[in-house]
Amino acid sequence: MVAEGMGDEQWRERLGRDEYRVLREGGTEAPWTGEYVNEKRRGVYRCRACGSELFASDTKFDSHCGWPSFWTPMAGDRVRLLEDDSLGMKRTEVRCANCDSHLGHVFYGEGWDNPDDARFCINSISLTLEPAPGE
């Protein structure tokens, strides 16, 4: 796992251009282009930047929004939630708690059938999937 506190130059060397734009600059990949939008294999989704375990595949669901959606992180302390009003609307940004990389946003109150009525809308490029054995 990558230690917290890496400098900007180290991140640029470690990540590809698009990965850097999303993970370190808070960008967003285009909808329906990410490798995990339609992924069905079981496993653990990790932060692409540092390798921290973030989401279990059994919390992934089809929200038809163009990005992978999860109803909860693996544990509450795996992610940080920050208020984001950068586009003139109130949203909640999701960041990796270990390396502070941008992952996506979480939305509540949309009517999803999960315990918190939550949709963690996460960029595929922010994640890597570690498939379960046999997947």
Active site residues: 121
What are the C-alpha distances in Å from 15 to residues 2, 3, 36, 71, 124?
A: 12, 15, 18, 27, 14
> How far is residue 110's CA from residue 1's CA, in Å, rounded to a whole number?
34
Number of neighbours of residue 61 by Cβ within 10 angstroms? 15
Among 95, 115, 106, which Cα is nearest to 24's? 95
Tokens 């400098």, residue located: 7
**Four-point Cα dihedral 18, 23, 27, 29, nearest 10:** 60
At 68, list the tokens: 């992978």
